[in-house]
Amino acid sequence: MNRKKPSARARKTRLRPAGRAVRITVGGVVQGVGFRPFLYRLADRLGYKGWVKNFGSGVKIHLESKKKTDFGPFLRALEEDKPPLVRIESLDLRPANYQGSSGFKIKKSEEGESFVFISPDIATCRACRREIADPEERRYRYPFTNCTDCGPRYTIVRSLPYDRPKTTMAGFDMCRDCRREYEDPADRRYHAQPIACPVCGPRVTLKEAQGGKWIPGGIEAAADLIRKGRILAVKGLGGFHVVCDPRRPGAVRRLRVIKKRQRKPFALMARDISTIEQYAYICPAERRALLSAGRPIVLLRKKKDIPGISPHLDEIGFMLPYTPLHHLLLEKLSLIVATSSNPKDAPIAKDEKEGIGRLCDFILTHDRPIQTRADDSVLKLAGDGPLFLRRARGYVPYPQRVPAHLHISEHILALGGELKDTVSVYKNGYVITSQFLGDLDEYQNYRYFEETIAHLERLFDVRPRVVVSDLHPHFRTTRYAQRLGLPHFKVQHHYAHVLAVLLEHQVPAGRKVLGVAFDGYGYGQDGGAWGGEFLLSDYSSFTRIAHFKPVPLPGGDRAAREPWRMALAYLREAYGEEVPPLPSLEKVDRKSRDLITNMISSGINSPLTSSCGRLFDAVSYLVGLAPVEVEFEAEAPLRLEAVSRRNIKASYPYELLTDREPWQLSFAATIREIVRDVSRKVPPERTGAAFHHTLAAAIASVSERVREVHGIATVALVGGVFLNKTLLTLASQRLQKKGFEVLRPGQYSPNDESISLGQVAYALARLKGRR
């Protein structure tokens, strides 16, 4: 629970208010999570009378007693025994007039200005799973079973307060039995807005993808089709999965052709933990993540490879079933491919009309509409905490509290960057960050971006007075901001990365940190292509204290798709015109190599870049791991990390040039040593590990120099490169051994998904500073 620590006087007032009645207002994730029935049962057990009701900003409680003046037991139990999905962000308690209530009642929700937090979609709870498996229960094998502890939330809500008429369940009238459960405060389905049963709720339909012919048998028939090698689209909470049997190579190959996805990994959904353990190693923290209410995809180290699922990598993504439909589908299958049902680079499909028939043979669908599309969240474990690759279903829209010194009354809209975009809204001291929206250079993703802004503003009653975007003048988000006609702040990309961590970790005003921001690209203040940055930062400003020595980016964006170009650029930086012959360069025809060499020499279409991501591309290609052309972002660095043995501690030389600011890190000596190792046929496992140690050492070296000169002992590791668990771990360990405090994103991704959060922090500091 996040709130200010009360003073001793406030604590005394809270536990022993004067009089026989109190009014309690609770804010946070308190609607749609069983909070009101919990309060009803609590008041009844402790002998208090009064009422509780939802309102636009949370829950109001009126508590009274003829005899008791001590409300402490109720307040302590409210915090200690609350339902698992409840997150209390604020609690206000005041004396109230005694009303002479005859009992404790749950009142009808109060309309009004809305800023209550809604729970994410939650995986099916144990009690509901037992019902689905019990032939004596009326919801036996019903695929939409849910209660106040589980089921859809964010993806079905249209507006707040969170009541059934304001969700996509509004069109389903409750039968007598469901109505009885819904209205019984002692029932775990009391005011469970998605409540349903086979008599009155949504229904599953199986049909042919082409023509729509109905197929009898429902989920059981769908499982049979998957076992036979067919590809199905299956409707879940935030959209459709495309599903096949991963142990049928023909089905996997065909799915790759349909999705135009030659090598990018597929995620798997497994029936249970024991199934996952056949194919991957699971540590206790990873087990907890897999079984958590958010049910993310967790990247695990391979134990046994499944051909075609995660080629050239040492990790494989698994998740467990999170809806009753998934549990029923996996009863006989045990393991399926479950990838988003979208054409390449488009958003996940939430409706059959969005062309999913082109991706599959059959469609297993249902008639409960999806209001808000949301992909599966993806994470790995680094140390004891999550490292998000994608934050979406199961985690959005949990709020982020803002440090008290940044609180303002104005509402803010932050638009993020261009790739891996999210948007964030600020209101009343909290930030809500959207689910992953994808790359906005794809038209359908841009429509998704607009759809999400409209939904967040409507859902949380946000009326922006300021809009924030990236510094890049040509990003679609920048142009969108300009069209709004609002005061418009622009924030440098890597500075926004650092600010996001400051906000998440509640760093106080005036405290400076060294932000180490490593990624593929961000528009610099000088108009250059930044990406290997060391920024002295606080909420008000930053200084670029150091960066990677820039090298040419031959062909601009094309160099990010063809890593051999960056290999040539770094070879020219290290050797001049006498580039040594290497086996990996022979994969590219001589004419193309000469063309790129001439581009580098003449500076034609070869802007300079300090990108750490492009250095990874170059090294991965030089050691023979990266393909001539990558299929997906970070494919080359992922291959390099996959082979890098963690028990090798060798490193390569590098040079920190400090004759003038900003300082520069040169990796020319690193490249020469790597070339020497490749020529001596040193395996990529050794060169890859040594390269990771070199980068970690360079980070520590710059940090120590900054501490000597500026007295800063806190380092924030941000940017997409720090999704590399090996580098993140090595750098953190080196820094901590040298006495540094290390900050990194915990509840957000280090990649560009966190940009909009950092943009909010920038706007808050700017607006606060004007007062």
- Cis peptide, bond prior to residue 397, ω within 30 of zero: yes
**What digits encode the pLDDT tens for the residues 201-229?**
999 999 999 999 999 999 999 999 999 99
Residue 695's SS3 state is helix
pLDDT at 309 over 70: yes
Confidence of residue 113 (pLDDT cuts 50, 70, 90): low
- The whole-number pLDDT of residue 702 equals 98
Measured between alpha carbons, how far is residue 294 from residues 122, 291, 360, 396 in Å? 6, 8, 27, 10
- The whole-number pLDDT of residue 3 equals 42
CB atoms within 10 A of CB 256: 16
**What digits encode the pLDDT tens for the residues 637-684?**
999 999 997 788 899 999 999 999 999 999 999 999 999 999 999 999
Q: Please calculate the CA angle 481-348-398 and round it to the nearest 5 degrees.
A: 65
pLDDT at 191 over 90: no
Confidence of residue 56 (pLDDT cuts 50, 70, 90): confident
Residue 201's SS3 state is coil
φ and ψ at 456, to 5 degrees? -65, -40
Residue 95's DSSP bridge partners are: 22
Q: Report d(CA 322, CA 578) in Å as an integer.
A: 58
Confidence of residue 68 (pLDDT cuts 50, 70, 90): confident
Q: Report d(CA 658, CA 190) in Å as an integer.
A: 66
Residue, of 456 and 7, whose pLDDT is higher: 456
- The whole-number pLDDT of residue 278 equals 98
pLDDT at 362 over 60: yes
Q: Report d(CA 430, CA 506) in Å as an integer.
A: 12
- The whole-number pLDDT of residue 66 equals 83
Mean local confidence (pLDDT), 342-348? 84
Mean pLDDT rounded to a whole number for the chain: 93
**What digits encode the pLDDT tens for the residues 474-486?**
999 999 999 999 9
**What digits encode the pLDDT tens for the residues 556-578?**
999 999 999 999 999 999 999 89
- Residues ≥6 apart with Cβ < 8 Å to 115: 56, 57, 427, 428, 430, 460, 461
The least confident of 146-160, 266-280, 536-550 is 146-160
Q: Report d(CA 729, CA 27) in Å as an integer.
A: 37
Mean local confidence (pLDDT), 131-149? 97
φ and ψ at 30, to 5 degrees? -130, 5
The least confident of 158-172, 269-283, 684-698 is 158-172
Residue from 343, 218, 321, 190 nearest 267 by CA? 321
Name the percent of the chain lying above pLDDT 90.
Answer: 86
- The whole-number pLDDT of residue 669 equals 98
Q: Please calculate the CA angle 517-522-525 and round it to the nearest 5 degrees.
A: 95
Name residue 656's amino acid: L
pLDDT at 509 over 80: yes
According to DSSP, residue 432 is labeled E
Residue 284's SS3 state is helix
Residue from 98, 21, 90, 81 nearest 59 by CA? 90
- The whole-number pLDDT of residue 1 equals 42
**What digits encode the pLDDT tens for the residues 707-735?**
999 999 999 999 999 999 999 999 999 99
